[in-house]
Amino acid sequence: MEGTCELCYRENVVLTKHHLLLRAEGGKEEHISYICEACHKHIHTLYTNRELAVGLNTIKDL
């Protein structure tokens, strides 16, 4: 799937699904964001899943 990354706004990049809130934490469809692989790798390098779930569960917080 290609489109615009919700994080860096690059266009026509391959998008990966990022769960802003894990399913185990009550995450639903609206908690999924589509970001490019570079951003995805980046946020998972910077933050643990716990940190993402607690404080970074909206795209604007990232």
Binding site for Zn ion (CB under 5 A): 5, 7-8, 18, 36, 39
From the CB of 40, what's the least distance to Zn ion, in Å? 5
Half-sphere exposure of residue 32: CA atoms within 13 angstroms, side-chain side: 7
From the CB of 33, what's the least distance to Zn ion, in Å? 9
From the CB of 25, what's the least distance to Zn ion, in Å? 13
The rounded radius of gyration (Å) of the Cα atoms in the chain is: 11
